[in-house]
Structure 1
Amino acid sequence: VQYKDAQGQPQVLPVDGGSRTVTVPGLSASRRYKFNLYGVWGRKRLGPISTDAVTAPATEEPPSQPQLGELTASHVSPDSVQLEWSVPAGAFDSFTVQYKDAQGQPQVLPVDGGSRTVTVPGLSASRRYKFNLYGAWGRKRLGPISTDAVTAPVEEELPSQPQLGELAVSHVSPDSVQLEWSVPEGAFDSFTVQYKDAQGQPQVLPVDGGSRTVTVPGLSASRRYKFNLYGVWGRKRLGPISTDAVTATEEPPSQPQLGELTVSHVSPDSVQLEWSVPEGAFDSFTVQYKDAQGQPQVLPVDGGSRTVTVPGLSASRRYKFNLYGVWGRKRLGPISTDAVTAPATEEPPLQPHLGELGVSHVSSDSVQLEWSVPEGAFDSFTVQYKDAQGQPQVLPVDGGSRTVTVPGLSASRRYKFNLYGVWGRKRLGPISTDAFTAPAPATEEPPLQPQLGELTASHVSSDSVQLEWSVPEGAFDSFTVQYKDAQGQPQVLPVDGGSRTVTVPGLSASRRYKFNLYGVYGREQLGPISTDAVTAPATEEPPSQPQLGELTASHVSPDSVQLEWSVPEGAFDSFTVQYKDAQGQPQVLPVDGGSRTVTVPGLSASRRYKFNLYGVWGRKRLGPISTDAVTATEEPPSQPQLGELTVSHVGPDSVQLEWSVPEGAFDSFTVQYKDAQGQPQVLPVDGGSRTVTVPGLSASRRYKFNLYGVWGRKRLGPISTDAVTGE
């Protein structure tokens, strides 16, 4: 599940393949979110399917805004500064420390909201730094408070320069080579092995200074490689010493075979399949069948499994199941079997009924709705209506509610509200009502609507046009310029409300463009005013295409890597560094075109990263050049411990759990249990919580709950407890 949080940052919530529901925690009240759900099938990501939701308004009185006190430097060393600060009133959610490193690159250090001190690492000796601290409170960023500090000088006598001995190959396989080397004198801080891969791309493998051997992985079989080893000593790179090696020939594994597919267990809504693999091993399997509506369904299974349960079937129905084995890029099979699901044994509950929908309270910007359910119970409700711009809106309501307030409406306007009841997979209704919002309070005289004047082209070049306009009356919140590019695609350029001129870049020479300017005033878009302009012919000879040189990792810490690169010819407009974080999510770091070094922050310790650097030149993206780096080892904190798990509250459809952590701190928790259909469910919980409510349970049913603590890459536990839901 992917969505953006209240700060606009993308978030990813993983869900196991057997689940059909998940609760997204940690959202902000009264806020619209768009959720995209992707299905992962083997190495493919299918989808997304999407939906919008507006979180309910917060009922608590918002806390008073906190205040930042003073920021001081309490301890200084040659490569770090310890900062301390005070918060005289209130509490912040988190802090960020901002400063520029020795290369002038901006750096950001996040700090949790409970801290009042932080050590800024990786600084240069005898250098003045300015530190700005911001406090994050809800959606606001308060501050900064600032302080200056000069790092201490390096007092140690530099040791004598070390020397590299010989580099040799000690072991060869089809996809790797083991290298060994000697250091006859002195000691290096670290080493780097450089070589070119099968595609001719330069690769860099960092090695710690205490090692004398390393295995270079990911090579191609039966191929000659040249390896260069450099020794890093302080800021110097010594060497290289070199050797050649030819990787061994790879024997292809024999193709695996599928055996028989049988049905081992049948229920009204599921079938358990079993199969054999008499020879070889598959990477994964897929089960394909058609559901009750005739739609094809695919169920992925890992390569080590020999059984799988196909859920969500219809009772008393014949299904044909095909099983395929995936081996490398090949799909073998299928083997097939038929099965008839068992008849339904339970009497389905009576369908609930919607009563009447009425309006119980009206204000200038909201309407309170009330409704009745004369028979049965719904799982949830949805209220649908169109806003002042005619856009459809959906407001979700839980199944136990009989009233809801619809916020964000316009004054003195007629709205039609439709209420639907959700019962299992059915949506019943709607029941409807109309309402007029109250007129806006007459305390303030609304400002006069602004007016747009004339739009002119004041300067024209071969690839840009400068526009100017007037606003004879009033003030706009912002403007937008709309036009079509050389390919006929519509483009939109936003402009702040205080501007009266803007340059439209990226145009084609000797081409006529029509520009429309709109003024945005509150929720209204006024205009457009228009003008035509013809770009000047191209007079200059285009500069020659620049070239990227080599990319290397020049400094490594537990949570950052410093990259360096060269541009042997020409100049780029900008660069982008791309890599995947510890969760496998792609990250992009923009760098200005004049830089030749950048520090990538926020990495995980003792982890291999691959960095790709692209050069942006006009509309072209050149590259990439690549390098690998392993972050330094971080002294791990002591392992936390789980205490006891207890049930603190029980309802007919929910259970509240509580637990203790007698020692240490976890990054997060997960609660695992099986629902009334026996399907495993996973509920994620943040690491600071000690209680959670498990919703959506069935009445008068025994459940077993397992709680795991997630600490780094480890999952500790579980601790367990049983509970029986109320009637």
Structure 2
Amino acid sequence: MAEALSPCNCPEVVLGTHVGSAYGFPVEPLDAAEEQYFLLSSGTNNTNGTNGTTWDEARFYCQVCYKEMATINSRNVHLIVQNLISDYWIGLRESFNGSIPWSRWSNGDPVTYQNWYPGHPVLKKIIPKCFSTTQTPLSTPMTTPMTSPETTSMTSPETTSMTSPETTTVTSPKTSSMTSPGTSSVASTINKTVDYCPLLTEILLCLNMTLGELEVAYDVSSPPQSTSVKPQTVTSSDTPSTTPSSTPSTTPSTTPSTTYSTTPSTTPTFTPDTTAYGTTDSPCSTEPEVPDEYIEDACVALLSFGMWKEKQCYELLPFICYDERFFGKINIDNVTTHESFLYWSAGPGENISHYRVEVTGDYNQTFNETGLSKQILNLTAGTQYNVQVFPVKCGRDLNPQNVSFYTWPSGVGDLKVVCVTNDSVKLNWTKPEGNRDFYSIQVSDKSESQKFKTEESVIKGLIPGNNYIFTVRAVVNNTTNGVPSNISAYTMPSQVSGLKSADNDSYVITASWDQIVGNTSGYLYCLNETTQCINCSVHHNSPDCTNCTIITDKPIQVSGKIPGTRYYLCVAALTDNNTLQGQMVQINAYTCPSTVSITLTPNSQTISASWTIEGNYKTFNVSIRESADNRTESTKNETTTELHYSFTGLKAGVNYTITVVTLLENGLPSDPAIKSIYTIPTSPGPATAIALNSTAINLTWEAPKESLGASKINYYVTYSSKYWNEGKNTTVEKENITFNNLRSGTRYNFNVYVVAGNLTSNPVYASEMTVPEKKKLTFTMLCTTGTPLYCSNDMTQNATITELMKYIDKNFNRSDIHWILKSINRK
């Protein structure tokens, strides 16, 4: 049947688009597809020539030309039912996609919404028919533990039956009955704490019911009854069949009564009859009861007023398809002034016959393409074009892919630099072909471009001496830049500022200047001795500019010049590989006078100075100062034109510094010639030494008369001990000193000198003994002799003492060390 329907020829009515919910239902995820629904009929192209198709043909057509047959849920029902004019097939079939009827839509979605016409769907009823059995009990008894101390006995002496319309009787272990609206009854009492018996479980499975539904249907709260129903014959709509009922019978259990307690016990049960499930000897079997309106494997039709009803799938009806709105993307590549390249997303499914490309702009173009790309030619520069690509499926245009683009504007013509300054460049050019909104000029070191409406511009705020690349483009739509046209130019370098000559050398001109604003590639300087150089340039070699030189960096240093001479110095910054020159600046530069060479001759109170010089000079400034403790006290400052000078009235033993400076007419000094020398020192005044204690002596003296008033005199002091053969020296600047850590009772000799550089005066002398510390040293003399009474003789004792005193006096000179020797007669 499906092959008889030709896809592409069904007239369609678009119902609407659904994504998410606007009626209080949960909204679908953001990435959910946007669905569109279509009312369709086959026209006269089906096999019967009527307006409609079978359900299978409709589904085939929906799958070929759309996504699938329509599914209905609470979120899209309002879109679908509002424009119905007849009954339509929808994508629901009784036995489709699963064993549970009416559970799945044709696209696989679960059925979550139903709107059946009253009394529909008509189901085929399955009625269990139960009968008594004397089968051998189950080989494995059912063991059920009690969860409460209450005990329940199940006995089988009585007969309980349940009779359905098919007269099936089932006997349970206890006499209890439930009566249905027919003639069926079930005798059963079930303790809720005990598992259900296997037989009842099988019955509920046959009935496709739960225990709760069974209790509601048969009102188990009514007193138990026993009702028997005679067998009857049930005839289906397809094939008549007669099923005799089973006569209920009872089979006693092996134990008359079984008690369930908290201790698990076993109770024999009957093995259920599974004949209805492919086995034999079952106490329960089933037969279908088929209503007259029941349709085997029915398909659902959506009625014109929105409710559902099942119909034979071969009936001919219009149908509803749905499709997911196609959202593709067009990419633009290789756009130039007159062409561009398009490529787009493939349409959904396998039945896209071609793509219709529509280009609109200053003129329109349409193309039919089977591929996914197209090169568009013969476009106008700087023009906007709109492109739509329609995938064509079964003769139907899908949602188009859209894009807009501008072709590049053409490049400007005859771009040139008109003039430059330190911080600006002026450009002009001719109009390009095609369209443009304005001109954009991008400067190479700036992030933002500048806009101009005319074919001329002045670019300001530039850095002096810098090289710039200027890119000029025609622009449309504020974002689409045309073909670039480039030109480069240097701004003029800044004027040199702060130019100055060091004037600090007799043979070298040294000049420097402040760091200029901007960039340079070098400097041009000219140095003339007699003529000015303000008009010299890098391209002008006049006689006045013969002494010009290009350097790459400052400062300027020119050697071999005459001391004490004036020169004209001119400097200009260069750029563009030293071809573009800034404004020239001129100053006077001098070589300073040369430094004299001094010779000094000292005396105790005079110094004679003489010197020699090279080059030009005007006068000499001479000065003398005392040099003491880094002090520079000037005692005399004179000017002379002679090459010598004598300094008198000086102090003896003092260091003097003589300075000679050469001066030019403009007062420019030379580097000073500096030399120091000491006047010859004279001896200090008398020295006096005083013992302070056993370890210290204070020494004082007078300053030399020739040195009185000097800021600083250096004295060299020595002391020594003859007896101990030791001595030390020190230098002081005052006329006294105390020596400590001396030996007691010892004589020390002192000498004081005036020291002036490497010159030393004659010394003055002083001597003193430290205070002795008295200690007693006892000598005990033992006399032994062979002569009787010799040692007791006074003469012998006196002679011995005399010899001892001679020995001590010889070794301990009384003038160098203090001592006293006494004898004691201890007779």
Which interval holds the TM-score relative to the shorter structure?
Answer: under 0.3
Calculate the TM-score normalised by the size of structure 2: 0.15
Larger strand proportion, structure 1 or 2? 1
Q: Which has the higher contact order (CA 8 A, sep 6+)?
A: 2
Calculate the TM-score normalised by the size of structure 1: 0.17
Larger helix proportion, structure 1 or 2? 2
